[in-house]
A and B are shown apart, each in its own frame.
Chain A
Amino acid sequence: MKALAGACLLIFVLAAASLFVGVSDVTPGKLIGADAGSRALQVLLASRIPRTLAIILAGMSMAVAGFIMQMLARNRFVEPSTAGTMESASLGMLVVTLLAPQAPVMGKMLAASAFALAGTALFLRILRSIPLRSVLIVPLVGIMMGNVISAVATFIAYRFDLLQALAAWTTGDFSSVLRGRYELLWLSFLLTGIAYFAADRFTVAGLGEDFTTNLGLHYRRVLRLGLVIVSMVTASVVATVGMVPFVGLIVPNIVAMAMGDNMRHALPWVAILGAGLVLACDLAGRLIRFPYEIPVGTVMGVVGSALFLALLLRKRRQLG
């Protein structure tokens, strides 16, 4: 409990830093005694606070979504970016933008959720028909499938001159987050709360279908609940800030190493560290080439793939 409070404090510090890093000069000094019309205060309210909240909400919920997927697929290396979920969500955004450009963002996000759900279900279906289900093959299949889906998306976007819109969904970037344009992420926060509520069910499902049935739960229902949560979280993140890969992979793995997978216990940690990792990567992206920004999706991609490789190699050693 104490450690968890400490981690919260760390997030608090990172969040505070996130509020005061940027091109416009916003410092605590300028804010104290500033009148309501001051520029610093306006930047803070319209941009910095929304951005920081968006980072925290997206980081938390993506990490938890990855955790749920790892339980349900019973594989440590599955997360929305290694199972075709993210790519399907952005394909969904593209398709709905083509067919119903005037649809409200909530409607688009729901359509993207449906795509994400279908893509993830397809991934699980493919897995079931692969006889050799080695631990390392599973994410490779997912990554290949994701690549195929994003190739389709790129082709469509190219034909209809929507490449720029597609780029916004595929590269996670918090720099354009403004008040009024990120609130959808509160939905994924709500979904994270539901995941916590159902944590024991997901842990039981992680034990496998037979254990789940023996304990009186319906495996299919737990699977469906988990997939809906994962798809909606992914779609709302893709719709508002774009793909943020690897958070859902790295954070749950690190937490599992330290304290195991019992979700009731581990989920708060996964959520907090997920927020922390994305905050840190976004800050790094803002500082490395200041005053220019590197999108968080790119930073996450570099940091994430390095850590992913480290995890893979570690696993290989364990497997012999």
Chain B
Amino acid sequence: MIEIENVSKAYGRSVVVDGVTLTLPSRGITSIIGPNGAGKSTLLSMVSRLLPMDRGHVRVDGLDIADAASDVLARRLSILRQDNSISVRLTVRELVTFGRYPHSKGRPTAADREHVERALGYLGLDGLADRFLDELSGGQRQRAFVAMVLCQDTDYMLLDEPLNNLDMKHAVSMMQLLRGAADEFGKTVVLVLHDINFASCYSDHIVAMRDGRVIHQGSPEALIRPDVLAEIYDLDIAVETIGGRPIGIYYLGSGSARRQQMPGPNG
């Protein structure tokens, strides 16, 4: 269980995460949705100790991340940020092997290597394992990063927009993979997603943020509803039930929304 208690972050005078209190249940997939600039990435970075918070506490399985040893945390919780530019020239396999670092401290055992090969296989990277990262497409690189995090084999996996750059097929198989990790291995997966329909189809729990606050949370059925979505995104979104799942149809916008201007930097 991740307990987030009254966490805030401000840059200068603009408060980007504003007293968020939230409990993320163990096991299963929690998706965080919300418009650009809602503070999703900032919140995730603070929960994973990448970014210091101005106020508040975060506890992972009762362990306060402010006091816990970083290498102990690295065996419990892993994080993949939204934008990852890497200048180091590594092969896919080398990168993924570094995912074992918290366990192997740079001396990978046979068991570590098995983890690596399995993660490469899960992400469909077998054929690319010996290619350098700077010679891959964006989507292939994204899969390599996820393989690395998977290889870290932590109870908690935090992924900020893991579907970035992925085509439909790979996006679906990524979500199925994460679903499997939650169902079969009891992992707790926390995702930031932009596609509300992936959130609807694969999450156990959805958290909606806007302007630095959590404004709604609940099951997909409770969140993927026209009135709730309108509040989150300022957009009229029709919802249909397809295959038993609520699916938002937002491509056409609505009469009123279509006439609106492009949203501003925080909109």
CB distance from B46 to the nearest CB of A (A): 12
Q: A37 contacts the other chain (Cβ, under 8 Å)?
A: no
Residues B101 and A71 in contact, CB atoms below 8 Å apart: no
Residues A216 and B73 in contact, CB atoms below 8 Å apart: yes
Q: B140 contacts the other chain (Cβ, under 8 Å)?
A: no
Known A75-B87, A215-B101, A216-B101; judge A260-B70 contact (CB<8 A): no
Q: Mark the stretch among A13-21, A43-51, A123-131, A199-207 that contacts chain B.
A: A199-207
CB distance from A12 to the nearest CB of B (A): 29
Q: A208 contacts the other chain (Cβ, under 8 Å)?
A: yes
Residues B89 and A260 in contact, CB atoms below 8 Å apart: yes
CB distance from B146 to the nearest CB of A (A): 13
Q: A217 contacts the other chain (Cβ, under 8 Å)?
A: yes
Interface string of B224-242 (1 = CB under 8 A from A): 0000000000000000000
CA distance A210 to B73 in the complex (A): 14
| Selected contact of B87 from candidates A74, A215, A216, A217, CB within 8 Å | A74
Q: Which residues of A contact B45 (CB under 8 A)?
A: 210
Q: Which residues of B contact A260 (CB under 8 A)?
A: 89-91, 94, 132
Residues B79 and A208 in contact, CB atoms below 8 Å apart: no
CA distance A262 to B79 in the complex (A): 22
Q: Which residues of A contact B86 (CB under 8 A)?
A: 207-208
Residues A76 and B94 in contact, CB atoms below 8 Å apart: no
Interface string of A191-204 (1 = CB under 8 A from B): 00000000111011
Total residues of chain B contacting the partner, CB 8 A: 34
Q: A24 contacts the other chain (Cβ, under 8 Å)?
A: no
Q: A256 contacts the other chain (Cβ, under 8 Å)?
A: yes
Residues A206 and B87 in contact, CB atoms below 8 Å apart: yes
Residues A213 and B49 in contact, CB atoms below 8 Å apart: yes
Q: Which residues of A contact B81 (CB under 8 A)?
A: 210
Q: A214 contacts the other chain (Cβ, under 8 Å)?
A: yes
Which chain B residues (43-80) contact chain A, with CB distance < 8 Å?
45, 48-50, 69-75, 78-80
Q: B25 contacts the other chain (Cβ, under 8 Å)?
A: no
CB distance from B179 to the nearest CB of A (A): 23
Q: A261 contacts the other chain (Cβ, under 8 Å)?
A: yes
Known A71-B88, A214-B79, A260-B90; judge A207-B98 contact (CB<8 A): yes
Q: Which residues of A contact B149 (CB under 8 A)?
A: 214
CA distance A271 to B74 in the complex (A): 32
- The chain B residue with its CB closest to the CB of A197 is B106
Q: Which residues of B contact A209 (CB under 8 A)?
A: 50
Q: Which residues of A contact B79 (CB under 8 A)?
A: 210, 214
Q: B35 contacts the other chain (Cβ, under 8 Å)?
A: no
CA distance A48 to B106 in the complex (A): 40
Which chain A residues (261-307) contact chain B, with CB distance < 8 Å?
261-262, 264
CB distance from B186 to the nearest CB of A (A): 21
Residues A261 and B89 in contact, CB atoms below 8 Å apart: yes
Q: Which residues of B contact A74 (CB under 8 A)?
A: 87-88
CA distance A201 to B50 in the complex (A): 18
CA distance A262 to B97 in the complex (A): 11
Interface string of B84-123 (1 = CB under 8 A from A): 1111111100110011011001100000000000000000
Residues B74 and A262 in contact, CB atoms below 8 Å apart: no
Residues B50 and A214 in contact, CB atoms below 8 Å apart: yes
Known A210-B81, A260-B94; judge A216-B88 contact (CB<8 A): no
CA distance A201 to B49 in the complex (A): 19
| Selected contact of B75 from candidates A216, A217, A257, CB within 8 Å | A216
Q: Which residues of B contact A201 (CB under 8 A)?
A: 106
Known A204-B98, A204-B101, A207-B98; judge A214-B74 contact (CB<8 A): yes
- 6 residue pairs of the A-B complex, CB under 8 angstroms, read A210-B50, A213-B49, A215-B98, A215-B101, A216-B73, A261-B89
List the interface of chain A (C-beta within 8 A of B): 71, 74-76, 199-201, 203-204, 206-211, 213-218, 256-257, 260-262, 264
Besides the known contacts A210-B50, A215-B98, 10 further A-B residue pairs in the complex with CB atoms under 8 A apart: A203-B98, A206-B87, A207-B88, A210-B45, A210-B81, A214-B80, A216-B72, A217-B71, A218-B70, A261-B89
In the complex, the 7 A-B pairs of residues with the closest C-beta atoms, listed nearest first: A216-B74, A200-B106, A216-B71, A206-B88, A261-B89, A215-B101, A260-B89
